[in-house]
Amino acid sequence: MSLEPLLIAELALLGLGTGFLAGLLGIGGGMLMVPFITFILSNRGVAGDLAVKMAIATSMATIIFTSISSVRAHHKRGAVRWDIVKRLAPGIVTGAAVASLGVFALLKGAWLALFFAAFVGFSATQMLLDKKPTATRTLPGTAGQFGAGGVIGFLSGLVGAGGGFVSVPFMTWCNVPIHNAVATSAALGFPIALANAVGYVISGQSAQNLPDGAIGYIYLPALVVIASVSVLMAPVGVKAAHALPVKLLKRVFACILYMLAAYMLWRGLR
């Protein structure tokens, strides 16, 4: 599969959208990227089962780069709870390894598409209702945070998302202030993405019919184009967040997520 100008344009446009939304709404781009990369690869002859897996893996790999720029901004404001990062990260790496090295390679793309559709539908409902869990307790001990990190890393590895829709509700439920929870989630995006990306590369070595430019399950041309553009657009989204009615935008975006979830559900059922 050659990297023709139209493909570059499609990937750049996707990067613009995901980068802007990441800055505007404080979300990772996985839920937006996976359906579109699946569509782009499928239209260029990649088998549906493989296209879903490559879309999830490529989406996760881009988070390595976008999380770095995001966490630097949060760290400058002193918002990152590094003590939480240190306790959750070991579990995250473990959960990510189990997902990307084992379960991901074993599951068919159709099942991953269905799981992704369910996950995105749930996340869209949370966003639509602007639902925040009631803070009722403090963070668990080291063992508890290791377990929570394992769940976050595992789920992220299966859907190609940075884990914010799991880690932020978990931290706010444990009485971590929301701005600290969002900043800490951004910091957690790096070990989540790195551990999963390594797993996707290793587990994808035995995959058949990979297109040119693939490193394991990761489609390198898409990674380079999307990451380059999205990193540039994220600050623009942050600025827009201060000037636009974000709550209304979240509801609009939730409706878009429902449509993307429906597309992935259709892909999975096919």
Taking only the tens place, the pLDDT of each residue in 147-194 is 999 998 888 888 777 777 778 778 878 888 877 887 888 888 889 889
Residue 255 half-sphere exposure toward CB, CA atoms < 13 A: 5
Tell me the three state secondary structure of residue 214: strand
Strand partners, 215: 218
Taking only the tens place, the pLDDT of each residue in 43-92 is 888 888 899 899 999 988 988 887 777 777 778 878 889 999 999 999 99
Residue 19 above 90 pLDDT?
no
Domain ranges in the chain are 5-269
Q: How many other C-beta atoms can be found within 10 angstroms of the C-beta atom of residue 205?
A: 11
Q: How many other C-beta atoms can be found within 10 angstroms of the C-beta atom of residue 257?
A: 22
CA distance 197 to 203: 10
Residue 11 above 80 pLDDT?
yes
Cα first-last separation, the chain: 24
* Percent of residues, the chain, with pLDDT higher than 90: 20
Residues in CB range of 154: below 8 A, 6 or more apart: 95, 96, 98, 99, 103
